[in-house]
């Protein structure tokens, strides 16, 4: 049997899964020059067990299963600095989104905070439920009091599917 | 000119902040202007600039100077240029003394500015003391033959020989192997354009062989070199081929019939050759050669040769040639990676060097260009290429081989192309330095083709019973310890100077650098010349180079040699020993100590013995001057009076 083995986990590359995960990316992890600039500027550096360059290089070598189940892909702040600054235009951010999609389609558990957002999204079509505005005296105002029209909430099945498709989910 | 009372001008250079940032130049000028014999002392930010040079010329005219002291950088930088300034100011160029207040002062003593200033003053005082005693030197024009010797027939030697020949210089092109072509002839394709190496090299080989101004001497080596007149007398040994070059048609019948097989050097031991052989199909000259060590003298070749070219009685021939210039173009050697302790015990035909892989890739190679796993002839599905094997390694070659990274990228691309997209190609690297034009793009192309680049240098390499090689490498980019099972492992082995370069350098009396490659006269300004006149260097004998760099370097060496040879003469060396015949006793001690055979004691008509110096051979070392009991023999402007005047100042 030829090929790679990760001697710590005895994992083997999963080339088919790698291909599926990088299919949507403009420039895949293969183009990475291993400079580490993505990690140098990472907003979520302190939170991440796996740093952006490690995620990219693991994906490059086909070690994607561990990435899909990694907590780190959910800790990314999606600030886009890595995508903006990569000298090779490899976007760790996009790779992370693609890994998240894979995690969700596999039905893996996702962090609670994100699940709340997801639920809100499905219920209302918005990432966050509307909140009241508060002035300096601490008085709260609803939309109505501010003369704003009522929000259309709820998402049609059709719209939900369109949104899912747009996000690359199934 | 230059006689009578000394009127010395001292010119102090700031060299920007290189000197003035440490040394108190103003104080230095005030002190120096009080020195005996100094009539003018000025400082200027850049004395080597055009206005700086003009300043010297003006001062010479204004103050009637007859000696000049420049306090600036090392004389090895700009002494020659300042001599020309003196010449254009109407002074003899050798009435100049340079005080090195940069390399000897401001740079090493940057942390002690006061002491540096004191030392600079002392150096200037010494220079002034010597300048007072300098004598003008007139140089003679010594004729040189418009002929050159090029040693080494690789791409460097071929390029240099062709450039010289085109300029009208007669060239002896000497190659120790039976064919010219060198390493480039062994390569399959060249990076980054992937054009076929033989396709671009072969026509140049033929052109060199056919050029009316080039005499090709293959299977030949330089035996002796001696300076004579303005040039050299060289003895070349033409080794016995046991095949008459002018009769052999290169038909190959003899090769076919020869019963003796030995590993082919050209194919790096991956295939056989016969005891009589033509090294490769495009060999120039396409003439067979008998390998004396392995030939059993069965005579089959002689029987089948229709041209009657076989001559077992042929002996080495010696040619004596006179040339004005020598270009060394002896290239490099690929080191033996198994000399490294971690690889030494590994015995597997499936671990090969990059040069062996070139032979596997080449359509004229032992497999006809088919990539195989040497142990069983099967097509490899997984290949690991390891860079920096023996390079950047204090145990082997501390220097970078410069071409390894690009070779790795090229071979990875070619392997992917030959073995198909399913084959896994891994490149394990320390750093990947693809620094030339088009090479970064080439590296990007390799990455886009799915070649896996791993930032890490393998340590454990293990041969499995089935012939598979297990490579363990720590990948710095993921923090993973990886194991790769490979069918083929390619080692990008470091480059070394050829084994016989040291001997050749000794024959030519030119120095080697700390890496044992030839040392150039100046690392930036004279990269293709040796420090001694008339000797030039082309290509990797001066340090690892790729083909583009080698060709540029070779053309530069040829241009330098041509500009010297086409003038038709060289100027005699200024700093050579001269004998004051009146005080010479003819004792012969100088002759004894001279390492260059430049001194001979001769008998005059009167019967008196006197030492004579051969100006062409004297290197101005001064050993004779030290040995002479009467002070009769001295190196011009470096005699006891000049040196002692400096010592007197220094020891005050």
B96-100/B535-537 β-pairing: unpaired
- Hey, which residues does B171 pair with through a beta bridge? B148, B214
Q: What is the pLDDT of residue B1?
A: 43
Task: Kindly state whether residues B79 and B167 are assigned to the same domain.
Answer: no
Answer whether residue B225 is part of any domain: yes
From 3.10.590.10, 3.40.710.10, 3.40.50.300, 1.10.1060.10, which CATH number describes the A15-105 domain? 1.10.1060.10
Residues B69 and B59 sit within 8 Å (Cβ to Cβ): no
d(CA A26, nearest CA chain B) in Å: 12
Among A131-140, B171-180, B241-250, which stretch is predicted with the lowest mean pLDDT? A131-140
Task: Kindly state whether residues B340 and B480 are assigned to the same domain.
Answer: yes
Mutation site, A12, A30, A50, A70, interface B, largest B CB count within 10 A: A30
Nearest in space to B131 (alpha carbons), one of B1, B10, B46: B10
Here the ipTM equals 0.79
Answer whether residue B161 is part of any domain: yes
Q: Do A2 and B424 touch (CB under 8 A)?
A: yes
Task: Kindly state whether residues B382 and B488 are assigned to the same domain.
Answer: yes
> What's the pLDDT band for B36 if we cut at 50, 70, 90?
very high
> What's the pLDDT band for A2 if we cut at 50, 70, 90?
low
> What's the pLDDT band for A158 if we cut at 50, 70, 90?
confident
Answer whether residue B266 is part of any domain: no
Q: Do B452 and A5 touch (CB under 8 A)?
A: no
Answer whether residue B2 is part of any domain: no
| Residues B569-617: tens digit of each pLDDT | 998 889 999 999 999 999 999 999 998 889 999 999 999 999 999 988 8
> What's the pLDDT band for B88 if we cut at 50, 70, 90?
very high
| Residues A19-31: tens digit of each pLDDT | 999 998 999 999 9
Residue A1, pLDDT > 60, answer no
Q: What is the pLDDT of residue A168?
A: 65
Segments forming the whole domain that contains residue B622 = 577-636
Whole-number percent of chain B with pLDDT over 70 = 99
Pick the last residue of a domain from B451, B477, B496.
B496
Task: Kindly state whether residues B536 and B455 are assigned to the same domain.
Answer: no
Q: How many domains does chain B have?
A: 4
The chain-wide mean pLDDT, for chain B, equals 96
Answer whether residue B136 is part of any domain: no
Q: Do A61 and B478 touch (CB under 8 A)?
A: yes
- Report the C-alpha gap between B373 and B164 in whole angstroms: 45
Residue B429, pLDDT > 70, answer yes
Task: Kindly state whether residues B118 and B155 are assigned to the same domain.
Answer: no
Q: Do B480 and A8 touch (CB under 8 A)?
A: yes
B170-174/B214-217 β-pairing: parallel
- Report the C-alpha gap between B251 and B237 in whole angstroms: 27
Pick the last residue of a domain from B538, B565, B592.
B565
Task: Kindly state whether residues B453 and B593 are assigned to the same domain.
Answer: no
What is this structure's pTM? 0.87
Q: What is the pLDDT of residue B617?
A: 82
- Report the C-alpha gap between A89 and A96 in whole angstroms: 15
Q: Do B483 and A5 touch (CB under 8 A)?
A: yes
Q: List the CATH number of the domain containing B605.
A: 3.30.70.3270
Answer whether residue B53 is part of any domain: yes
Query: Coil, strand, or helix at residue B155?
Result: helix
Q: Do A2 and B444 touch (CB under 8 A)?
A: no
- Neighbouring residues of B199: CB distance < 8 A, sequence distance ≥ 6: none
Instruction: Decide if A11 touches B, using CB distance below 8 A.
Output: no
Q: A30: which chain B residues are within 8 Å (Cβ-Cβ)?
A: 447-448, 450, 452
Residue B214, pLDDT > 80, answer yes
- Hey, which residues does A6 pair with through a beta bridge? B482
d(CA A35, nearest CA chain B) in Å: 9
Task: Kindly state whether residues B326 and B447 are assigned to the same domain.
Answer: no
Answer whether residue B506 is part of any domain: yes
d(CA B472, nearest CA chain A) in Å: 9
Answer whether residue B247 is part of any domain: no
Q: List the CATH number of the domain containing B202.
A: 3.50.50.60
Instruction: Decide if B478 touches A, using CB distance below 8 A.
Output: yes
Q: A60: which chain B residues are within 8 Å (Cβ-Cβ)?
A: 452
Instruction: Decide if A57 touches B, using CB distance below 8 A.
Output: yes
Task: Kindly state whether residues B431 and B356 are assigned to the same domain.
Answer: yes
> What's the pLDDT band for B3 if we cut at 50, 70, 90?
low
Q: What separation in angstroms does the CA of B515 have from each of B355, B397, B430, B502? A: 22, 8, 21, 11
Q: What is the pLDDT of residue A152?
A: 75
- Hey, which residues does B261 pair with through a beta bridge? B274
Task: Kindly state whether residues B457 and B339 are assigned to the same domain.
Answer: yes
Task: Kindly state whether residues B479 and B524 are assigned to the same domain.
Answer: no
Residue A136, pLDDT > 80, answer yes
Extents of the domains making up chain A:
15-105, 112-163
Task: Kindly state whether residues B103 and B46 are assigned to the same domain.
Answer: yes
Instruction: Decide if A3 touches B, using CB distance below 8 A.
Output: yes
Instruction: Give mean pLDDT, residues B407-434.
Output: 97
Number of neighbouring beta carbons within 10 Å of residue B597: 12
Q: What is the pLDDT of residue B228?
A: 87
Q: What angle do CA B261, B264, B269 make, to 5 degrees?
A: 110
Residues B380 and B423 sit within 8 Å (Cβ to Cβ): yes
Instruction: Give mean pLDDT, residues A132-145.
Output: 91
Task: Kindly state whether residues B345 and B491 are assigned to the same domain.
Answer: yes
Instruction: Give mean pLDDT, residues B625-643.
Output: 95
Q: Do A57 and B483 touch (CB under 8 A)?
A: no
């Amino acid at each position: 049997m030829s090929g790679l083995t990760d001697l710590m986990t005895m994992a083997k590359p999963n080339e088919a899964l790698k291909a599926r995960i990088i299919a949507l990316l403009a420039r895949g992890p293969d183009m990475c020059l291993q400079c580490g600039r993505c990690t140098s500027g990472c907003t979520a550096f302190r939170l991440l067990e796996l740093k952006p360059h490690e995620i990219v290089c693991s994906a490059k070598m086909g070690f994607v299963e561990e990435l899909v189940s990694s907590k780190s892909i959910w800790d990314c702040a999606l600030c886009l600095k890595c995508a903006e600054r990569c000298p090779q235009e490899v976007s760790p951010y996009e790779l992370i989104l693609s890994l998240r999609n894979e995690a969700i389609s596999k039905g893996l558990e996702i962090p609670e905070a994100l699940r709340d957002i997801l639920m809100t999204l499905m219920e209302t079509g918005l990432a966050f439920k509307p909140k009241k505005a508060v002035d300096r005296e601490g008085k709260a105002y609803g939309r109505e009091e501010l003369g704003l029209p009522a929000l259309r909430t709820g998402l049609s099945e059709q719209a939900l599917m369109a949104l899912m498709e747009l996000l690359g989910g199934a | 000119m230059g006689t009578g009372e000394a009127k010395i001008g001292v010119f102090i250079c700031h060299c920007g902040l290189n000197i003035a940032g440490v040394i108190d130049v103003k104080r230095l000028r005030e002190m120096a202007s009080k020195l005996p014999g100094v009539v003018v002392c000025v400082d200027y930010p850049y004395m080597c600039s055009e206005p700086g040079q003009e300043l010297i010329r003006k001062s010479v005219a204004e103050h009637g100077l007859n000696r000049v002291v420049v306090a600036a950088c090392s004389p090895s930088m700009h002494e020659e240029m300042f001599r020309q300034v003196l010449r254009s100011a109407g002074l003899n160029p050798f009435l100049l003394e340079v005080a090195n207040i940069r390399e000897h002062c401001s740079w090493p003593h940057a942390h002690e500015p006061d002491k540096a200033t004191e030392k600079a003053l002392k150096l200037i005082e010494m220079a002034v003391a010597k300048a007072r005693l300098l004598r003008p030197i007139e140089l003679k024009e010594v004729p040189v033959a418009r002929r050159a010797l090029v040693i080494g027939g690789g791409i460097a030697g071929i390029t240099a020989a062709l450039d010289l020949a085109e300029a009208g210089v007669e060239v002896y092109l000497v190659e120790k192997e039976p064919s010219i072509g060198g390493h480039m002839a062994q390569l399959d394709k060249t990076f980054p354009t992937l054009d076929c190496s033989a396709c671009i090299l072969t026509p140049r080989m033929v052109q060199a062989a056919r050029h009316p101004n080039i005499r090709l001497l293959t299977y030949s080596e330089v035996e002796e070199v001696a300076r004579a007149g303005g040039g050299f007398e060289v003895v070349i040994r033409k080794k016995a081929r046991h095949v008459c070059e002018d009769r052999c048609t290169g038909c190959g019948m003899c090769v076919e019939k020869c019963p003796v097989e030995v590993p082919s050097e050209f194919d790096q031991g991956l295939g056989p050759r016969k005891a009589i052989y033509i090294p490769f199909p495009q060999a120039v000259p396409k003439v067979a050669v008998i390998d004396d060590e392995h030939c059993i003298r069965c005579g089959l070749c002689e029987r089948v040769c229709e041209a009657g070219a076989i001559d077992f009685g042929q002996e080495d021939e010696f040619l004596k040639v006179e040339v004005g210039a020598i270009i060394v173009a002896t290239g490099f050697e690929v080191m033996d990676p198994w000399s490294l302790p971690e690889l030494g015990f590994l015995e597997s035909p499936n671990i090969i060097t990059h040069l062996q892989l070139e032979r596997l890739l080449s359509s004229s190679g032992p497999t006809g260009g088919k990539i195989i796993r040497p142990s069983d002839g099967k097509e490899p599905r997984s290949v690991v290429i390891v860079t920096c094997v023996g390079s950047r390694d204090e145990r082997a070659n501390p220097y970078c081989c410069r071409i390894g990274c690009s070779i790795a990228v090229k071979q990875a691309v070619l392997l992917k192309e030959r073995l198909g997209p399913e084959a896994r190609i891994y490149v394990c690297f320390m750093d990947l330095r693809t620094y030339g034009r088009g090479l970064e793009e080439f590296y990007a192309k390799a990455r886009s083709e799915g070649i896996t680049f791993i930032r890490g240098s393998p340590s454990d390499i293990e041969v499995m019973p089935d012939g598979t090689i297990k490579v363990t490498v720590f990948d710095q980019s993921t923090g993973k310890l990886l194991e790769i099972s490979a069918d083929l492992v390619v080692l990008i082995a470091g480059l070394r100077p050829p084994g016989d370069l040291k001997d050749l350098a000794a024959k030519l009396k030119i120095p080697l650098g700390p890496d044992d490659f030839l040392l150039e006269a100046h690392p930036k300004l004279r990269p293709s010349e040796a420090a001694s006149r008339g000797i030039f260097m082309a290509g990797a004998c001066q340090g690892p180079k790729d083909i583009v760099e080698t060709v540029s370097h070779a053309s530069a060496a040829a241009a330098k040699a041509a500009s010297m040879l086409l003038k038709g003469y060289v100027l005699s060396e200024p700093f050579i020993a001269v004998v004051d015949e009146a005080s010479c006793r003819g004792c012969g001690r100088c002759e004894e100590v001279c390492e260059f055979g430049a001194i001979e004691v001769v008998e005059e008509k009167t019967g008196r013995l006197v030492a004579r110096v051969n100006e062409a051979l004297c290197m101005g070392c001064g050993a004779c001057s030290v040995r002479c009991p009467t002070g009769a023999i001295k190196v011009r402007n470096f005699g006891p009076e000049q040196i002692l005047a400096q010592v007197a100042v220094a020891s005050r």
